[in-house]
Structure 1
Amino acid sequence: MSALLLEISQLNRKFETSNGNVQALEGINLNINAGEFITVIGPSGCGKSTLLKIIAGLDIQHSGSVKLENQQVAGPGIDKGFIFQEPRLFPWLTVEKNIAADLSLRNPQIRQKVDELIELVKLKGFEKSYPRELSGGMAQRVAIARALLRNPKVLLLDEPFGALDAFTRSHMQDVLLDIWQKNKTTMIFVTHDIDEAIYLANRVVVLKPRPGSIRRIFPIDLPYPRKRSNVSFQEFRFKILNEFEKIEELELIDSSGI
């Protein structure tokens, strides 16, 4: 049994707007073990990205508790890597310098680590390339390598493949799984795509909106590598789709005032 890594207890986040207060998250309770791959899915506006930013320490205006290795998360740090939807690379730096970021490649340990990560994300031969010379998928691999350089305890990914075409997205899912299996980094991945959520995760967390809260958690007990055409895969897809239909029904009831 893996050790408990992340403990979220009674997490609430409220935003003040010109139209009044909006309860973005309410009563989130979630424990994540070291080495798990968790996907978070739900309708737009259910607080998926807000949850990720709170775990990253980028948003601390909340109530409740978020602990990483039993330490309260009070701000961003090297123990938490974050991947955005767009790669956010420095256009004037090469691949290897983007990965190293503010660390010097003249340091033998940094040089070795960068070389290992380039190998891990399958960018060997592109070390001297600039972002403008890379495809979207390659640029995201650079961003992932950069986030892994400091050996974060958890890697947080906010729809990192959302802007990619279907073929590249599928390829990047396999690349990410390969990185996860080799590196053993705990990953929390936000997506709108049900198939992507099932394909990647040990557990799929389904959020419902207004206020954002956990509707259901699905353990995905399928062996890797997974096939989307597999009957068991499709059964999970049906169950999660069914959960979304229930959420939509509740939304219609709330909006009609019944």
Structure 2
Amino acid sequence: MSTALLQIREVSKTFHSDGGDTVALDQIGLAVNTGEIVSIIGPSGCGKSTLLKIVAGLDIDIEGDVLLEGEPITRPSREKGFIFQEHRLFPWLNVERNIAGNLSLRDPAVRRQVDDLITLVKLQGFEKTYPKQLSGGMAQRVAIARALLRNPKVLLLDEPFGALDAFTRSHMQEALLDIWRENRTTMLFVTHDIDEAVFLSHRIVVLDSRPGRIKSIITNDLTLPRKRTSTAFQELRTVVLRTLEHTEPEKESWEI
């Protein structure tokens, strides 16, 4: 993983209001390599989601630069898939039509891609099912498949499993790694869950708070698949937790 696909260069973000200016991010510098999963973790309000929106091109009022394959990011595009905490499926469309979006399933190429993605996210048999009939985890699988249909160069995930119960979340983490093994999709993943960051990531970026700065970048060399009960996993988890415990504010709560 030596090729830097995504480059975040000295990015700062300030929000302006009548009450004064708030610096959300300060001099963030990060390179994300092709095929890498990088998690971002830090206290609430440290700018994790703001950074993800900047990378997505949803917020370009910044200082610094964000480059994808050497080209500045100035707007949203199909090259950047975005997965939110809520699935945001269209309730009037079934699974296969939600995945296809504005593309026609009558197109043999689209039909083939949608069928392949339904298999990839393990939703065979639910093609005609509507969102209200799906569990939370299944709905997020549809959202991930919809983003992957556009063949994004980077997949941006903003706490996509945060609203799920512990069992479903664990299952979805396994599913995300299955997708990564199949496609080697580059991912930038925001989470509050320490175990999730250790389980999924090649590197873990710890942000400090107010303003958001990179406090530490922790490399995860644990072999996939990872066992949460292993000594090595628990040792790395402890390293991340200790790093987080020294961020501000001091009494932040973490999912451990």
Q: TM-score range by the shorter chain?
A: over 0.9
Structure 1, unmatched stretches of 5+, are 253-258
Is 1:9 aligned to residue 5 of structure 2? no
State, as a whole percentage, how many aligned pairs show the same letter: 63
Amino acid in structure 1 at the alignment position of 2:92: W
Partner of 2:84: 84
Deviation at 1:3, TM superposition (A): 1.8
Partner of 2:173: 173
Amino acid in structure 2 at the alignment position of 1:53: K
Deviation at 1:18, TM superposition (A): 3.1
Partner of 1:34: 34
Is 1:46 aligned to residue 63 of structure 2? no
Task: State whether residues 2 and 35 of structure 1, in contact with CA within 8 Å, keep that contact through their aligned partners in structure 2.
Answer: no
Q: Cα deviations across residues 155-176 of structure 1 (Å, max 9, x unaligned)?
A: 0000000000000000000000
Deviation at 1:240, TM superposition (A): 1.1
Is 1:20 aligned to residue 20 of structure 2? yes
Deviation at 1:52, TM superposition (A): 0.3
> TM-score of the superposition, structure 2-length normalised?
0.96
Structure 2, unmatched stretches of 5+, are 251-256
Deviation at 1:17, TM superposition (A): 2.4
Q: Cα deviations across residues 101-129 of structure 1 (Å, max 9, x unaligned)?
A: 00000000000000000000000110010
Residue aligned with 1:97, SS: helix
Partner of 1:213: 213
**Separation of aligned partners in 2, 1:19 and 1:241:** 34
* 18-27 vs 150-159, greater mean Cα deviation: 18-27
**Separation of aligned partners in 1, 2:119 and 2:33:** 27
Amino acid in structure 2 at the alignment position of 1:213: R
Following superposition, which runs of at least 4 residues in structure 1 exceed 3 angstroms of deviation? none
Partner of 1:256: none
Amino acid in structure 1 at the alignment position of 2:196: E
> TM-score of the superposition, structure 1-length normalised?
0.95
Partner of 2:226: 226
Residue aligned with 2:216, SS: strand
Residue aligned with 2:247, SS: helix
Deviation at 1:247, TM superposition (A): 1.3
Q: Within 5 Å, which residues of 2 pair with 1:123-162?
A: 123-162=123-162
Q: Cα deviations across residues 32-68 of structure 1 (Å, max 9, x unaligned)?
A: 1110001100000000000000000011110101000
**Separation of aligned partners in 1, 2:88 and 2:18:** 31
Deviation at 1:191, TM superposition (A): 0.3
Residue aligned with 2:235, SS: helix
Q: Cα deviations across residues 178-208 of structure 1 (Å, max 9, x unaligned)?
A: 0011111101110000010000000000001
Amino acid in structure 1 at the alignment position of 2:47: G
